C-alpha cells in the first residue's frame, strides 16, 4: 500500500519515445515528491528512474494499420493487467497518458487521467476529441497549436512545452560530438536513424544502405554512422547493412550522431524533431505496407507527416514514403544537402524557428507539478 499522503501514479508508454519522455516525467515526479510511487507500462528508461514496470511493450511496438494487428493479443493482455490494477484497492491517484480504452477504465474507477503528449487529433481521427473530453481530466499539450484546439472542444488543457527541450540541453556541440565519435572535422558525415521499431528498420535500412553506395561514389570519403535505438538489436542492423559501404553503428549516443552529421536519413517520428532542434539537415523516409499507406492517406488531415514540417507549418524537409523511399531518391536528396550549401542552410534557418515555438526548458517539472496537483485533488 502507498504511505498516507504519498500519491501513487500509474504511467503508461508503449514505445521507445514514450519510454524516453515517460522517464523524464518519472524523474521530475520523484524530485518533487520522493515518496511518490510510480508503476505501470514502460521500458528500461522508466524503470531506471524508479518506476515499477508491470508491462513492457517498448521493444515490440508497432506502427501503421495492418502492422498493429499482430500485436493485438499482447496489447489486450497488457490492458487487462493494467485495468486490474485500476480496479484494485491500491489503485493509483492519477493516470498520466495511455490509450482511451484504459482511460475509460480509469474513469470508471474514479482515477483522474492526465494525457501527457496527447493524441494528434489535428493530424487524423479528430473525432477522438469527444472521447477525450469525456474521459480525460487534463491534457498536457506539447505543441503550441494544440491548446486552442482542445479549448475549443471543451477539454481542460495546459501547454507545458515539448519534453525534447529538456533532453537536448545535454547534447554535445558539433565539435565535441565529432571528437567523441572519432570523426575528423571536414569529413562529410551522413547519419542513419532508421527508427526504434523492428519493422521500421527492416523497411528503410536496405534503401539507406544502397543510397550510401551511391553517395560514396559521388562524394568519396564520406563517413556513415548509424544511431542505434535501445529497442533494436545490433545484429538486425548489421544484417541489413551487409553488402554496402562501411557504417559505424553507435549505441546510446543518438544526439551525438545527429549533431556530428552534415546530413541525416531519418525515419519519420520524434527523431525528426530532435534533428531539427539540433540543426542537422535531413531527409525523412518511411515504408508502410500498401494497406497501411492507403489507410493513412485516407485518414490523415494534414499535408505532412514529419514533426519538423508539421510544427513549422510548411514543407522544409523532404518526405519520402513507401514507393518514393528508394535508394536513388534517398541518395539524390542526401547529396543535395551535402553539396548544395543553400539547400542545407535553408533547412537550418527554418530549424532556428522551432525552439521558440516549443516552449522553454523545464517541461518535465511543469508536467509533474500538474500531475501531482491532479493527484492531490482526487
Q: What is the mean pLDDT of residues 43-66?
A: 76
End-to-end CA distance of the chain: 17
Burial class (CB in 10 A: 0-12, 13-18, 19+), 91: middle
Order of strands, edge to edge, in the sheet holding 138-141? 95-96, 113-116, 138-141, 157-159
Range in 8-12, 272-276, 288-292, 332-336 the model is least confident about:
288-292
Q: What is the Cα–Cα distance from 162 to 2, expressed in whole angstroms?
A: 31
Q: What is the mean pLDDT of residues 96-101?
A: 64
Q: How far is CA 161 from each of CA 50, 140, 234, 310, 325, rounded to the nearest angstrom?
A: 24, 9, 33, 16, 32
pTM of the complete model: 0.83
Average pLDDT taken over every residue of the chain: 86
pLDDT band at 196 (very low <50, low <70, confident <90, very high): confident
pLDDT band at 258 (very low <50, low <70, confident <90, very high): very high
Q: What is the mean pLDDT of residues 200-229?
A: 96
Greatest alpha-carbon span in the chain: 67
Q: What is the mean pLDDT of residues 245-266?
A: 97
Q: What is the mean pLDDT of residues 253-277?
A: 95
pLDDT-above-90 percentage for the chain:
60
CB 317 within 8 A of CB 349: no
Q: At what angle do helices 100-108 and 72-86 cross, to 10 degrees?
A: 20
Count other Cβ atoms within 10 Å, centred on residue 312: 18
pLDDT(371) > 60: yes
Burial class (CB in 10 A: 0-12, 13-18, 19+), 269: buried
Burial class (CB in 10 A: 0-12, 13-18, 19+), 82: buried
Q: What is the Cα–Cα distance from 258 to 216, expressed in whole angstroms?
A: 19
Task: Choose between 258 and 299: higher pLDDT.
Answer: 258
pLDDT(205) > 80: yes
| Secondary structure (3-state) at 74 | helix
Q: What is the mean pLDDT of residues 266-290?
A: 88
Amino acid at each position: 500500500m502507498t504511505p498516507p499522503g504519498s500519491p501513487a501514479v500509474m504511467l503508461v508508454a508503449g514505445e521507445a519515445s514514450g519510454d524516453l519522455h515517460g522517464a523524464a516525467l518519472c524523474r521530475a515526479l520523484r524530485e518533487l515528491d520522493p515518496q511518490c510511487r510510480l508503476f505501470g507500462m514502460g521500458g528500461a528508461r522508466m524503470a531506471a528512474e524508479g518506476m515499477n514496470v508491470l508491462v513492457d511493450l517498448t521493444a515490440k511496438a508497432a506502427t501503421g494499420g495492418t502492422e498493429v494487428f499482430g500485436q493485438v493479443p499482447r496489447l489486450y493482455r497488457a490492458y487487462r493487467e493494467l485495468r486490474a490494477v485500476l480496479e484494485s484497492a491500491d489503485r493509483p491517484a492519477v493516470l498520466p497518458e495511455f490509450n482511451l480504452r484504459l482511460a475509460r477504465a480509469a474513469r470508471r474507477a474514479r482515477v483522474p487521467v492526465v494525457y501527457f503528449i496527447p493524441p494528434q487529433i489535428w493530424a487524423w481521427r479528430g473525432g477522438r476529441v469527444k472521447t477525450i473530453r469525456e474521459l480525460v481530466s487534463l491534457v498536457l499539450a506539447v505543441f503550441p497549436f494544440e491548446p486552442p484546439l482542445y479549448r475549443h472542444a471543451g477539454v481542460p488543457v495546459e501547454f507545458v512545452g515539448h519534453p525534447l527541450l529538456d533532453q537536448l540541453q545535454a547534447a554535445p556541440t558539433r565539435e565535441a560530438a565529432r571528437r567523441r565519435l572519432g570523426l575528423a572535422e571536414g569529413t562529410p558525415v551522413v547519419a542513419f536513424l532508421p527508427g526504434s521499431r523492428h519493422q521500421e528498420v527492416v523497411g528503410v535500412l536496405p534503401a539507406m544502405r544502397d543510397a550510401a553506395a551511391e553517395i560514396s561514389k559521388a562524394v568519396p570519403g564520406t563517413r556513415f554512422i548509424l544511431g542505434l535505438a535501445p529497442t533494436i538489436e545490433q545484429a538486425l542492423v548489421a544484417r541489413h547493412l551487409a553488402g554496402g559501404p562501411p557504417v559505424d553503428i553507435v549505441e546510446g549516443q543518438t544526439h551525438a550522431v545527429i549533431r556530428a552529421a552534415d546530413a541525416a536519413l531519418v525515419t519519420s517520428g520524434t527523431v525528426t524533431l530532435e534533428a531539427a532542434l539540433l540543426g542537422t539537415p535531413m531527409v525523412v523516409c518511411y515504408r508502410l505496407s500498401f494497406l497501411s499507406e492507403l489507410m493513412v492517406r485516407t485518414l490523415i488531415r494534414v499535408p505532412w507527416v514529419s514533426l519538423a514540417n508539421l510544427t513549422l507549418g510548411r514543407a522544409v524537409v523532404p518526405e519520402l514514403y513507401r514507393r518514393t523511399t528508394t535508394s536513388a531518391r534517398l541518395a539524390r536528396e542526401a547529396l543535395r544537402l551535402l553539396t548544395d550549401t543553400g539547400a542545407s542552410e535553408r533547412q537550418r534557418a527554418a530549424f532556428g524557428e522551432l525552439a521558440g515555438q516549443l516552449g522553454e526548458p523545464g517541461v518535465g517539472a511543469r508536467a509533474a507539478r500538474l500531475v501531482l496537483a491532479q493527484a492531490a485533488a482526487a
